[in-house]
Amino acid sequence: MRRQINDMNAPGSTYPIGTPGKPWGPEEIGQWRSRQTPLRSYSADVVRVIERLRDRYEVVQYGQLDYAPDHHPLFAIRSPGWEDGLPVALITGGVHGYETSGVHGALQFVEQHGSDYAGRINVLVTPCVSPWAYERVNRWNAQAI
């Protein structure tokens, strides 16, 4: 794999999908997506940790990403005793799937320090914004965006 990546970065090399200088269409996106395989589990790495936090925080499912055959619920973790008059700190992770430390850092923050701010600010954490990309350790989502 390392050699394949290095070969693609060599002068004069081209990516095996598409035509240089031409935007991808549905066919190229389909070719690219067919090459993507899960390397880790959103359910095991992220959802399992979120479930453990339910007894201390409010966990809200704010959406779901459906990229057949995958279906990923999207979760936010809210401070207990949310107070409308307080400022809100939004912490996100996993906007790009290869940003592993953001996902795990957001979850660790909630587990270890989330309650430290009770009564001073409301904390809202969305630990993994792009679970499809997280599983594939990829910057792009399933639509190659």
Within the chain, which residue ranges are assigned CATH 3.40.630.10? 42-136
Banded model confidence at residue 2, pLDDT cuts 50, 70, 90: very low
In angstroms, the CA 112 to CA 32 distance is 39
What is the rounded average pLDDT for all residues in the chain?
92
Q: What is the pLDDT of residues 76-132, one digit of tens each?
A: 999 999 999 999 999 999 999 999 999 999 999 999 999 999 999 999 999 999 999
Q: How many helices (H) and strands (E) does the chain have?
A: 6, 4
What is the spatial order of strands in the sheet that 122-126 belongs to?
58-67, 70-78, 122-126, 88-92
pTM of the entire predicted model: 0.86
Q: Which of 106, 135, 144 is nearest to 123 (CA)?
A: 106
Banded model confidence at residue 9, pLDDT cuts 50, 70, 90: low
Query: Domain 42-136 maps to which CATH number in 3.90.25.10, 1.20.1630.10, 3.40.50.150, 3.40.630.10?
Result: 3.40.630.10
Place of tokens 């479930």: 51
The pLDDT assigned to 85 comes to: 96
Q: What are phi and psi of 111, to 5 degrees?
A: -60, -40
The pLDDT assigned to 11 comes to: 67
The pLDDT assigned to 8 comes to: 54
